[in-house]
Amino acid sequence: MYTPITTRWWPLFILFYSTLVTALLQQSVNAASFKYRGVALGGWLVLEPYITPSLFLPFNSSDIPVDEYHFCKQLGPEEALKQLETHWQTFYNQSDFERIKGYGLNMVRIPIGYWAFEKLPGDPYVMGAQKYLDKAIEWAAENDLKVWVDLHGVPGSQNGFDNSGLRNIGYPGWFNHTENLSLTHKVLKQIYTKYGNINNSSSTLYQETVIAIEVVNEPLGPLLDMNKVKQFYSETYKDARELQSINNTIVFHDAFQPMGYWNTFKNLPQISNNITNTTLKNYNILIDHHRYEVFSSGALNETIAQHLSSIESFAQDIGDEQSHHPAVVGEWSAALTDCTPWLNGVGLGSRYEGQEPYTNSRIGDCSNINNWSKWSKEQKKNYRKFVEMQLDQYSNHTQGYIFWTFKTETTIEWDFERLVQYEIMPQPLDSRKYIFNGTDTDKSKSNGIRISANGWLTSVLVLILVCI
């Protein structure tokens, strides 16, 4: 029987079209082809007390929960869900994404905990955040923003920081039980399948919007077995490529290892004919570096000139990695102090004022850190320089940057939108008052008065003990 040519060729056309669409999508999300200009939505789907203190202050002052785990445990499942639903519904909404786009940004990094997908037996966490992650992806798509899904907390905690959902400073328990690692893999498989598979019900939305998936935020390499971290990275990467129908960018945090550590990482599985050698550049993998300069007394004692110099050196070191793999500064801030209440954790003071548990001498006064009217002209200028230098250097030497975080309830140093309001964060983002091509052009600048003996080296060593 005669078959019309259009009927005979239709299946081949469909195959060709789907292959072409997949190829185009793969190209659009390649780690080396996208320049990140983003913000993180910290404190929303994973609680951090310093970002939303109003959720924690109603507790008895002697029994304030230190993280989301204890927040849920102390309230119980019904009350915890009630309060978190209100928080999820109100802290971010569609208008925030409109403003993010209006500020010249092109993506958002969204932290989420494993308990949004599945829990361990006995976990006090309440579920429900996954629904709001999906809403965020919709809002991002409507505003032409990309999304980086960030698994910010894993079972047992990968770092012991409150940002993992479970604070146990200095004692990350992620690898202590096989069920912790098994559940991490299981949750990531759900994420890969849901947000990286063309065959799901929201395929077009997810495939065109979710540009990257970070497998775990800030694993504390100095206190973990790095062989196990690398094995986990390799195994979950294999899962991603087998489960995803799109070659999405997979993000590895540097695990607080020295710059260049991941340049020679060769343990990834050869599961694609398109992979021809062992450099990460060919795997669509992005290395995530985080940069803060306030988590040691040495860093806090630096002059503004020293801060600017250390940022320049850091960015250039990342630039040297680019021949091996794309790399991004996935967290940075405007902070020049650790004064923000609960920044170091509930019950912990600040190094800046020499408070317990820190033993350094007092460096300065925190009383007006969130009172803009009390900031001096010199202080405002130095913060603007610090922000401009980071924008300048991260734009020129890395695959881009993501500011932590878009908004908070009370802080200035950590709040992108408030920094825009106070003209510390440039608008547009490429406008400059002081820093041009890595040079401070301020003719009235001084070297400052604080001198640091250890500088950034001390900051790196102490950073592993903070919970951001």
How does pLDDT run across 411-458, given as a tens digit for each residue?
999 999 999 999 999 999 999 999 999 999 998 876 543 433 333 333
Alpha-carbon distances, residue 457 vs 274, 394, 401 (angstroms)? 40, 20, 22
Closest residue by Cα to residue 251 from 336, 159, 150, 331: 150
Share of the chain above pLDDT 70, in %: 85
Span 348-377, pLDDT tens digits: 999 999 999 999 999 999 999 999 999 999
Residue 14 has pLDDT above 50, yes or no: no
Predicted local distance difference test score (pLDDT) of residue 283: 84
Closest residue by Cα to residue 307 from 131, 440, 137: 440
| CB contact set of 157 (below 8 Å; sequence gap of 6+) | 164, 165, 166, 167, 168, 172, 173, 174
Query: What dihedral angle (degrees, nearest 10) is formed by the CA atoms of 461, 161, 154, 233?
Result: -10
The mean pLDDT of 330-355, rounded to a whole number, is 98
Predicted local distance difference test score (pLDDT) of residue 247: 79
Known catalytic residue at 413: no
| 266 vs 147 pLDDT, higher one | 147
CA atoms of 321 and 308, how far apart (whole Å): 21
Mean model confidence pLDDT for the chain = 89
Structure tokens at 86: 């209100």
Bridge partners of 112?
151
Residue 21 has pLDDT above 50, yes or no: no
Q: Which of 48, 218, 293, 302 is catalytic?
A: 218
Chain centroid to CA 424: 21
Span 237-284, pLDDT tens digits: 999 999 988 778 999 999 999 999 999 887 777 554 444 445 676 689
The mean pLDDT of 95-120, rounded to a whole number, is 98
Q: Which of 3-7, 158-162, 337-341 has the lowest mean pLDDT?
A: 3-7
Q: Which of 61-65, 241-245, 292-296, 462-466 has the lowest mean pLDDT?
A: 462-466
What amino acid occupies position 347?
G
CA atoms of 419 and 388, how far apart (whole Å): 12
Q: Which of 302, 312, 331, 388 is catalytic?
A: 331
CA atoms of 129 and 395, how far apart (whole Å): 32
Q: Provide the pLDDT confidence category of residue 405 given band limits of 50, 70 and 90.
A: very high
- Computed on alpha carbons and rounded to an integer, the radius of gyration of the chain in Å comes to 23
Predicted local distance difference test score (pLDDT) of residue 198: 67
Are the beta carbons of 418 and 411 closer than 8 angstroms? yes
Chain centroid to CA 54: 23
Assign residue 347 a region: left if phi > 0, alpha if psi is -120 to 50, beta otherwise?
left
Are the beta carbons of 105 and 145 closer than 8 angstroms? yes
Alpha helices in 94-170 (DSSP H): 94-102, 129-142
Share of the chain above pLDDT 90, in %: 78
Predicted local distance difference test score (pLDDT) of residue 279: 61
Predicted local distance difference test score (pLDDT) of residue 209: 93
Known catalytic residue at 218: yes
Residue 156 has pLDDT above 90, yes or no: yes
| 269 vs 462 pLDDT, higher one | 269
Predicted TM-score of the model (pTM): 0.89
- State the architecture of 24-346+380-463 in CATH terms: Alpha-Beta Barrel (3.20)
CA atoms of 301 and 164, how far apart (whole Å): 29
CA atoms of 352 and 301, how far apart (whole Å): 9
Residue 460 has pLDDT above 60, yes or no: no
Span 210-236, pLDDT tens digits: 999 999 999 999 999 999 999 999 999
Predicted local distance difference test score (pLDDT) of residue 411: 98
Bridge partners of 288?
253, 328
Q: Provide the pLDDT confidence category of residue 19 given band limits of 50, 70 and 90.
A: very low
